[in-house]
Each structure stands twice: as structure tokens, then as C-alpha cells.
Amino acid sequence: MAWTRRRFLITTGLTGAGLALAGRGSRARAQGKPITVSHSVSTFVYGQHLVAREKKFFEAEGLSLPGFNVPGGGARVINAVTAGQAMFGLGDCNHPLKATEKGRETVILFATDTRCSYANIVVRKELYDKGVMSVEALADARLVGRKAVVAATAIGSGTYVYGVYVLGGTKAPDGKPVNEHVEWVGGGASTTMLGGLKAGKFDAIMAVPEWQFAAESEGFGHPIYDVLDEKAWNRVFGGPIPVTVGFALRETLEKSPDAVQGYVNACYRAQQWIRKAGDEQIVELLHKPYMDTFKREDVLKSVRYYKTIFDWDFLISEKDYANGLKVFIPTAIDKPIPFTKAVDMSFVKKAHGKYGA
């Protein structure tokens, strides 16, 4: 079975938590301002954190990082930041916006990617062979044989938020959104999501790259919406959006601006290292310390995938931010949060000045 974020949650979450407590001796004793940093699971989508630590970019910026806080799940990351258990978090853009809406003002510092890697839609191969070769075709009961059953990991999850947006922004032949012609269900983790698609329980699933790889390679699923298809992405989302972002509480920016700058610098330097490094070189750096429970070739495939959607300059434009808000309202947040309140690009711009754009 292909590895997934959820499987990482089980296997690396506890390991990461242990590292957060124990750290690595020599680094725990490193000189510098201590900081706490969190991401949900140690997959390559959060490779900026992993590379920055392994290449000692945090120490080079005058910071001390004994280990990561890896609680499992993006909601737990933002909770760690708002509760003061972590100074910095890396996760889905909607989480800091939710925190701000609830009264804990949280600021987005940079974006690491431009497309959502779990907005892919994979349909049963049987239906694909019958003609369900597009999102629009999910609304055709004659082809599907029933109201199409589409699975997200859970109702209200990130896969659900993006899935509802994709289907809501695609018109069926009758002119109504495809979303009005489907039934959403919670599909759970990798075993139940892929098993349900294979058994015909689900007609389509929202898929992280690893699930898409597995469904295709094992011959029971076929993508009908692939975020790597730039035209398909732009048709629905209107252009890039900040999906995975670094963030901190507003009070952290005010009280510890030097630490914030050091954190952003380290992550930016990691991003530039990823950009220039060979895929095998990246796997060599990260596989053993973070992902050694998985096949090396699976990690390599993930590296190659995410490098196609990473945002190399870390910048978020107002237009891209607005594209993201369209996805989050009202499924994730109730009202728009002004760009100037939600985002601070000054630290990234200083990183550009020091290390080049």
C-alpha cells in the first residue's frame, strides 16, 4: 500500500513527539535562542522544516531547535501555536485564519506551495471505462448508475473543503454545480478510502498523491481531476493559492521579531536548497531520520511530486490570497479576513535581501 499522510500520522507522529521531548543531544545543547516548531506529520510536504534542521539552518540563524512538535493533524498544530506550546507552525492556510477568526490573531509568514496536493479526484476504473472521464461526468446518473458517492477523509476535513470547492465550481450538463448531484461521505484513512473505491462502495475519492499513485498502479482507479494539470487547476481556482503556510501568533511577531526573522530565514534557505538539490540528494538527507519506515522509492516519488507545486519565493500576493479565501468561505471560515491583517511578507522580503530572491 502506498504511504499516506494518515499513515505517517500513525508511524511518525509518535516518533516526532519523542524527538520533541528528547531531541538530539548535540543540537539540544546548541547555542542560540530556543524556539519551538510544529508541523502535523514528517512528510515531504513539510520538507522546509526537515531540511532546515538537517542542514542546521536554524542554528546558522542564531536559533536552537532541539526537536519538532509533531502532534498529528493540522488542527493540533494550530492548537499548539495558539496555546503557546509552539512558536511557529507549518500547515494549511485555513488554520491560522480560523484562529484569527476565533480571537487568537495568527499571522501567515510565507507559503511553501501554490496548489493543494489533496484536491485530486480519482474515480473507479470501471466508471472511467464507461465514460466518467471528467468531473462533469460525475453528475451523469446514466453513466454512474446512481447519485455518485464521493468520499473525503471526513466531512469537514481539508479533503472535503477542497472537494466541495472543485465540484461546486464545475457545472454539470444541466447547468447546476456538480456538487448538487453527488453524495459526500467520510471515507477515513488509506485502507478504507482505497478499499472502498476498489470495492465499488465509493464512486470517487479525494486523493492525496500517494492514494492516486496506488489506485493507478493497482488498476482500480483513474484520476479525473489532477492538480498537476495547470489548466484544470486554473479553471477552478483561478490561479495559485497559498495552501501550506508558515505562521505564528501576532504577539510573537511583536515580542520576538528576531526569532521570527531567523525562523523565516531558515525555512527560506531550506526551500532554496530543495530547489537546487537533486531528488536523490534530498531523499538521502531526509529518508533515514524521518521516513525510514517507508520505501525509499516512495519517498523519492513524493519528493518529485511536491517539487512541482512548491512556491520557491515564499511570497503571497493579494490576488493569490483572495483565490484561497474563495475556497475557505464559508466551509472553513465565516467571513473574509483582510490580507493586511492575515499576512506579513516583510520577513520573507528581508530573507530575499539577505539570501537572494
Q: Which three cell numbers stand for residue 44?
A: 515531504
**317 & 271 share domain:** yes
Give the count of domains, the chain.
2
* Distance, CA of 128 to CA of 124 (rounded, Å): 6
pLDDT digits (tens, 9 = 90+) for 119-138: 999 999 999 999 999 999 99
**342 & 297 share domain:** yes
Residue finishing a domain among 179, 206, 237 = 237
Structural domain boundaries, residue 73 = 5-114+241-355
**317 & 302 share domain:** yes
* Distance, CA of 49 to CA of 262 (rounded, Å): 13
Q: Is 233 helix (H, G, I), strand (E, B) or coil?
A: helix
- Split at pLDDT 50, 70, 90, the class of 156 is confident
Arithmetic mean of pLDDT, 229-255: 95
**226 & 248 share domain:** no
**246 & 328 share domain:** yes
Q: Is the pLDDT of residue 269 over 90?
A: yes
- Does an H or E element contain 152, and which? strand 148-152
**298 & 331 share domain:** yes
**32 & 132 share domain:** no
**263 & 188 share domain:** no
- Split at pLDDT 50, 70, 90, the class of 20 is very low
**177 & 215 share domain:** yes
Q: What does the DSSP assignment read for 42-97?
A: -SGGGHHHHHHHHTTHHHHTTEE---EE--SSHHHHHHHHHTTS-SEEEEETHHHH
pLDDT for position 223: 96
Question: Which residues touch 297 (CB under 8 Å, ≥6 apart)?
Answer: none
- Split at pLDDT 50, 70, 90, the class of 305 is very high
pLDDT digits (tens, 9 = 90+) for 161-218: 899 999 999 999 999 999 999 999 999 878 899 999 999 999 999 998 888 988 998 9
Arithmetic mean of pLDDT, 274-300: 91
Residue 274: CATH number of its domain: 3.40.190.10
Q: Is the pLDDT of residue 28 over 70?
A: no
**Burial of 235 per CB tally in 10 Å (0-12, 13-18, 19+):** middle
Q: Higher confidence at residue 96 or residue 18?
A: 96
Q: Higher confidence at residue 167 or residue 153?
A: 167
Q: Which three cell numbers stand for residue 120?
A: 485530486
pLDDT for position 298: 83
Question: Which residues touch 101 (CB under 8 Å, ≥6 apart)?
Answer: 333, 334, 335, 337
pLDDT digits (tens, 9 = 90+) for 90-103: 999 999 999 999 99
**161 & 223 share domain:** yes
**310 & 345 share domain:** yes
pLDDT for position 191: 86
- Does an H or E element contain 204, and which? strand 204-207
Arithmetic mean of pLDDT, 237-264: 97
Residue finishing a domain among 210, 237, 264 = 237
Arithmetic mean of pLDDT, 214-230: 93
DSSP state, 262? H
**229 & 128 share domain:** yes
Residue finishing a domain among 237, 272, 296 = 237
Average pLDDT across the chain, whole number: 90
How distant, in Å, are the alpha carbons of 112, 281, 338, 345, 352 from that of 253? 19, 34, 18, 12, 18
pLDDT digits (tens, 9 = 90+) for 57-115: 999 999 999 889 988 778 889 999 999 999 999 999 999 999 999 999 999 999 999 99
